[in-house]
Structure 1
Amino acid sequence: MANIFKKVLKLLDERERKRLYMLFGAMTISALIEVAGIVSILPFLALITNPTLINDNRFLNWLYITLNFQSSNRFLIFIGIMVLLILIVSNILVILTMWGVSRFTNMRNFTIARRLLSRYLHQPYIFFLNKNTIELGKNILSEVTIVTSGVLIPLMQIISSGIIALFIFAMLMVVEPLLALSVMVILGVAYIFIYRIVKKKVSNIGKRRFNANIELHKAVYEAFGGIKQLKLLGFEEVFINRYSKPSSEYARDTATNQIISGTPRYIMEVVAIGGIISVVLYLLASARGFQDVLPIIGLFAFAAYRIMPALQNIYASITTMRFYVHGLDVLYRDMYAFEDKSYTPAYSKKKFPPLNLQKELRLEGITFSYPGTSKPVIDNLNIKIDSNTSVAFVGKTGVGKTTIADIILGLLRPCNGRMLVDGVEITDNNLSGWQKNLGYIPQDIYLLDDTVTRNIAFGVPDENIDMNIIKSTAQIANIHNFVTEELPNGYQTVVGERGIRLSGGQRQRIGIARALYHNPGVLVLDEATSALDGTTEKEVFEAINNISRTRTMIIIAHRLTTIRSCDVIYVLKYGKIVGQGKYEELMESNTEFRKMAKAHLLK
């Protein structure tokens, strides 16, 4: 329990922890007033059974005389009204405390999810190469809510109900110590016994629920992500069945946990009724008068009415927490597993001005291996790229072309070596400045389910979008006429999820316009046209040639026809440069390049 509480506190920021402690104080005050309401029952019942207490009890006599009562019946009515008012105030405070707890816990859905999203997005690019993004999305959109409702809220309920139960037992100990101790031991032992029987089962089905939640999210995302192939092959039922198994398992495990959490209530109600009967028999057997026994019976009965829900709430909350605690462990791990500064960038993209390439970009002694592998993908790479030139990297699949592009983009950090811009080494302190000068056009352009404008300005707030820049970059990318003449709402046309309503060439040209929006000095094209047909590829490269004279172009190419006009072509093999020069020079001097050219012509 202490470990769970510690992890929950770590998920909260300092301000939220202060609010949590304030809620604890409110719970304590509410519990004290609730106990006062229960205690007030005792003198009221005693007065009903023995009105002479008005004269015998010093406090009651003082109150009777001070308030100038002339009738014991009116005094009894007054006491009854006061007891009722205390109970009303007690319940109002309970409601207010519940409101505070509910608001606090549910607002944590927002703050923890936002914090977790921020944590994920600020991880280096290599983090996402080793993670399933469906699982990350599930943690943010589903698991945070589940942990809030299944761990944080039950934890608050345990504390709230625990305070109430503790004060009620303390009050009963003052009135009737032996009897109160006996009741406390019997009820406590009963709940502990039940919990020890079910806790392993609850833990196991909780882990199973967590894994089932991952699988059902994967099934849904993968079904919609491959909807075209799915419809073509008629595999609807295959994916429905793939979803059904983890979904039904999730539902069964959740239902089992609810049954385990709720069933003891009915068992303990029988125990409570039996306990009240035992209290009555015990008090009657103690040779006391009925008028002495009745107030104590009434006190214990009303205390049972309050304490049984509290005890059941504690038990149900503990079992619920055990069921969902695996989700808490995962959120805690993902939130705090990357404390190392090598994983968390120590810079803000707003702090550093663009680092422009004026003369040359150098990669010196660059070596890179992906985590979990011993063989380097890039091995002691040394290259120089002059500004305002076009450079291409070619080679077979897996030789490290995209890895070089990612290193230049600052997405991957080399294991050895350094990258210099005009003699300035790129480090964490100036990386964001370098990235502000980069434009990136990948093979697969990711488009938002949004307007053409927002897709070109990608991530820029609406109030900061410059439509003049939008239109000028679209013209350079040869997409402006299509947008204005063929799309129903021009630049405000929604392109559909991942640009499904556009052709491949149109998506690629929007990607070019996006890369140009911030007017970068360096453009990196990573197989940007390899998925296009020859005609469309030619049109896209016409758009690229429009901008190649005023920018540094770094091209990762699969088709050699796209790099004929490059100033320098680097041939890669096994992570090393095995040739460099212009297209014609390599055709004459480099065997590896000739093989690639010949293979391309045979396709």
Structure 2
Amino acid sequence: MSEQKSEQKPAQAPARGRGPGGGGPMGMGMGMPVQKPLDFRGSLRRFAATLRPERFNVFVVLVLGIGSVALTVLGPKLLGNATNVIFAGVVGSQLPAGVSAEQAEEGLRAQGQDRMADLLSGVPGVVPGQGVDFTLLMQTLGWVVAAYLGAFLFGWLQARITTGVVQRTMRSLRDQVEAKLHRIPLSYVDAQQRGEILSRVTNDIDNVAQTTTQTLAQLVTAVLTVIGVLFMMFWISPLLAVVALVTVPLSVILTAQIAKRSQPQFVEQWASTGRLNAHIEESFTGHALVKVYGHQEATAEVFAKENDALYSSSFKAQFISGTIQPAMGFLANLNYVIVAVIGGLRVASGTLSLGDVQAFIQYSRQFTQPLTQVASMMNLLQSGVASAERVYGLLDAPEQEPDPARSRKVEPVRGRVAFEDVTFSYTPDQPLITGLNLVAEPGQTIAIVGPTGAGKTTLVNLLMRFYEVDGGRITLDGVDTRDMSRDDLRSSVGMVLQDTWLFKGTIEENLRYGVPDGAEVTEEEFLAATRATHVDPFVRTLPDGYDTVVDEEGSSVSAGEKQLLTLARAFLADPAILVLDEATSSVDTRTEVLVQEAMNRLRKDRTSFVIAHRLSTIRDADVILVMEHGDIVEQGSHEELLAAGGAYARLYESQFAAPVVTEEEPAGA
């Protein structure tokens, strides 16, 4: 409804083109800065609450993670034992047979070879004169393989269950968003760009799903690995464990500082994504107008501006957070060098075995690896939380007033509509309708005329409860519409709007869209409606007839034919009250006459509200209301208003008394 767009200016309306960066074609709402910082902890806690229905499966994921990590942590120790078996065999083969390891150590010390004696004392299982015990070695390696295979199986099950948890949670989140979209008032939708809302419903939820899939199991595994590895490190050598932990505070401080700087960039990244999607959606929806008015370059400039903004914020977010991993890698290598040097000295002194040092080096790698993983996941985590916050922002949007607990239902609907001292404004400081009184008796046709922005479409919005009145009340057959459920109220009203809307489906499916659930329309009734609205003749010319597939763009039918389809849809709905908002604006003059006849039949025995700019279409209305600035300034029949010579007469004359312009001939012609 083109008029509706001019009237509906809710409090948030500046975001639709009059805010920062809103100037220029297709530039509505572009370039707006992020208004508030990311509430990382709050959004993260809220998302954790979203996972509550899956708490049992999350517990199973935790148990499987413990099993997988325990076996993974056990692997280096078992592998260190295998190294000790080999090293003991190598050392034992170089010692004389027939003596014990203690006697061999005493002999080395007696010969002044204290360093070799210290080395020997740190090697468990040495049998002088005996080489490598391959039976024991194979058994030990078998346990290593079993541990890693078990860790793999546990990890595989963990990943599979995690995927199910995430996808079910995202399905639930999408259901919540879908339900929310049905509860938010029209004023919220009017104040937002459709592309921005679509971006939250699609891109942001997909990003949350991707982030959760990649981080949930890995975070659990990483935390458990740190705990398990830390235990094994202290078990093997408390000294080396303390040395390895020196770099941890540095890692935490470094990660926190980098994350602090990258968080705002992730917020801006997804905000830029929403603005860019909104611009693209607007540009393609109005593609023809962009070309007609030659705004391709202006549109491309806005796209380039938003694309550059998205590039800039994405680059900063990824670059800043991307420095975490190399920084953590540097600290991990530094830790590796320190452990290797001190561990080598401990082996030489006989305090530790070679296998234990080997295991400890592996553990030091395993200890820093999950920290590095967590650090590298911070960019994903921050991005996901930023998207989650945008989704929760939609879920927290103000909702329309709920229907009364005990709603009243009018059966049968006679169609008496009364506006009683109605007051309404889209913004508190700009009143639109004040003290309006209007009564439409059953079967009457009420025509509403007036200049653009006078409040004509607003009356329809208030009747349908798309907006709630600020004062007064609207009644249907004596019942306040606020005491009725919206479904019951709207099921009694059929609307044919200036902006036609078709969904992707066959013509017959589109025509039957308005038929109430449970109602049946016979083939005869269906054809009678299509013939009365002159739909049948042009549909018969289509290759697939009523099975022809159309969509919102209606590429296979003309604008006038789309208007006829919406009229036929209203015929089949068979409502008690009919609203026609410029319903013949897209048809030619000849078709308009035919449609007028059809609408006259459609309006018979129904209360009808007809909004019209072409006054020729409402001459036979029972009552004509002339509105200016939200007030009814005149009302009466066509003849009465013309005779009064007031606002209606001036409108009528402006349409039908075409001015005659003459040019004076130049002198001497």
Under TM normalisation by the shorter chain, which class is it? 0.7 to 0.9
Q: Indicate conservation of the 8 Å contact 2:498/2:583, yes or no.
A: yes
Partner of 2:352, secondary structure, is helix
**How far apart are residue 451 of structure 1 and its match?**
1.9
- 1:224-243 matched pairs, under 5 angstroms: 224-232=284-292, 235-243=295-303
1:148 alignment partner in structure 2? 209
- 1:198-347 matched pairs, under 5 angstroms: 198-232=258-292, 235-251=295-311, 253-286=313-346, 292-338=352-398, 342-343=400-401
1:183 alignment partner in structure 2? 244
Read off the aligned partner of 1:360 and give its amino acid letter: R
Q: Indicate conservation of the 8 Å contact 2:270/2:387, yes or no.
A: yes
**How far apart are residue 347 of structure 1 and its match?**
8.0
Q: Indicate conservation of the 8 Å contact 1:124/1:345, yes or no.
A: no
How many residue pairs get matched?
Answer: 581
Provide the rounded CA distance (Å) in 1 between the counterparts of 2:289 and 2:405: 42
Q: Indicate conservation of the 8 Å contact 2:219/2:374, yes or no.
A: yes
Q: Indicate conservation of the 8 Å contact 1:381/1:577, yes or no.
A: yes
Higher-helix-fraction structure: 1
Q: Indicate conservation of the 8 Å contact 1:457/1:465, yes or no.
A: no
Provide the rounded CA distance (Å) in 2 between the counterparts of 1:145 and 1:120: 18
2:420 to 343, 364, 386: 364
**How far apart are residue 17 of structure 1 and its match?**
4.6
2:176 alignment partner in structure 1? 115
Q: Indicate conservation of the 8 Å contact 1:478/1:509, yes or no.
A: yes
**How far apart are residue 502 of structure 1 and its match?**
2.1
Identity of aligned residues (%): 23
Summarize deviations over 1:355-396 as a string: whole Å, max 9, x none.
5422622221211111x3323222122221111221112222
2:145 alignment partner in structure 1? 84
2:105 alignment partner in structure 1? none
- 1:498-513 matched pairs, under 5 angstroms: 498-513=553-568
2:475 to 408, 412, 420: 420
Provide the rounded CA distance (Å) in 2 between the counterparts of 1:295 and 1:460: 79
Q: Indicate conservation of the 8 Å contact 1:367/1:381, yes or no.
A: yes
**How far apart are residue 405 of structure 1 and its match?**
0.8
The question of 1:157 aligning with 2:218 is answered yes
Across the aligned residues of Structure 1 and Structure 2, the Cα RMSD in angstroms comes to 3.3
2:507 alignment partner in structure 1? 452
Provide the rounded CA distance (Å) in 2 between the counterparts of 1:253 and 1:587: 63
CA 1:245/1:126 → structure 2, altered by over 3 Å: closer, same or farther? Answer: closer
2:537 alignment partner in structure 1? 481
Q: Indicate conservation of the 8 Å contact 2:240/2:343, yes or no.
A: no
Read off the aligned partner of 2:180 and give its amino acid letter: R
Read off the aligned partner of 1:79 and give its amino acid letter: T
Partner of 1:374, secondary structure, is coil
The question of 1:101 aligning with 2:101 is answered no
Q: Indicate conservation of the 8 Å contact 1:394/1:570, yes or no.
A: yes
**How far apart are residue 462 of structure 1 and its match?**
12
**How far apart are residue 534 of structure 1 and its match?**
3.2
1:195 alignment partner in structure 2? 255
Read off the aligned partner of 1:194 and give its amino acid letter: L
Read off the aligned partner of 1:599 and give its amino acid letter: S
2:68 alignment partner in structure 1? 30
Provide the rounded CA distance (Å) in 2 between the counterparts of 1:248 and 1:151: 28
**How far apart are residue 116 of structure 1 and its match?**
1.4
Provide the rounded CA distance (Å) in 2 between the counterparts of 1:201 and 1:2: 16
Summarize deviations over 1:4-45 as a string: whole Å, max 9, x none.
321213445x52454334433433333233323344334444
CA 1:176/1:369 → structure 2, altered by over 3 Å: closer, same or farther? Answer: same
Q: Indicate conservation of the 8 Å contact 1:393/1:570, yes or no.
A: yes
Provide the rounded CA distance (Å) in 1 between the counterparts of 2:200 and 2:241: 46
Q: Which runs of 5+ in 2 are unaligned?
A: 1-39, 93-99, 102-124, 126-131, 659-669
Partner of 1:112, secondary structure, is helix
**What TM-score does the superposition give when structure 1 sets the normalisation length?**
0.87
The question of 1:410 aligning with 2:465 is answered yes
Partner of 2:603, secondary structure, is coil
Q: Indicate conservation of the 8 Å contact 2:455/2:630, yes or no.
A: yes
**How far apart are residue 76 of structure 1 and its match?**
2.9
**How far apart are residue 255 of structure 1 and its match?**
4.8
The question of 1:15 aligning with 2:53 is answered yes
Q: Which runs of 5+ in 1 are unaligned?
A: 57-63, 65-70
The question of 1:41 aligning with 2:79 is answered yes
CA 1:172/1:122 → structure 2, altered by over 3 Å: closer, same or farther? Answer: same
CA 1:166/1:205 → structure 2, altered by over 3 Å: closer, same or farther? Answer: same
The question of 1:170 aligning with 2:231 is answered yes
Provide the rounded CA distance (Å) in 1 between the counterparts of 2:359 and 2:521: 74
Read off the aligned partner of 1:303 and give its amino acid letter: Y
Greater C-alpha radius of gyration: 2
**How far apart are residue 168 of structure 1 and its match?**
1.4
Summarize deviations over 1:252-296 as a string: whole Å, max 9, x none.
544554444444444544543443332232134347556933122
Q: Indicate conservation of the 8 Å contact 1:369/1:376, yes or no.
A: yes
The question of 1:515 aligning with 2:570 is answered yes
1:59 alignment partner in structure 2? none
Q: Indicate conservation of the 8 Å contact 2:325/2:376, yes or no.
A: no
Partner of 2:472, secondary structure, is strand
1:549 to 595, 604, 608: 604
Summarize deviations over 1:165-204 as a string: whole Å, max 9, x none.
2221122123222321331231x23322432442344123
Q: Indicate conservation of the 8 Å contact 1:566/1:583, yes or no.
A: yes
Q: Indicate conservation of the 8 Å contact 2:415/2:577, yes or no.
A: no
Provide the rounded CA distance (Å) in 2 between the counterparts of 1:243 and 1:359: 50
The question of 1:597 aligning with 2:597 is answered no
1:60 alignment partner in structure 2? none
2:435 alignment partner in structure 1? 380
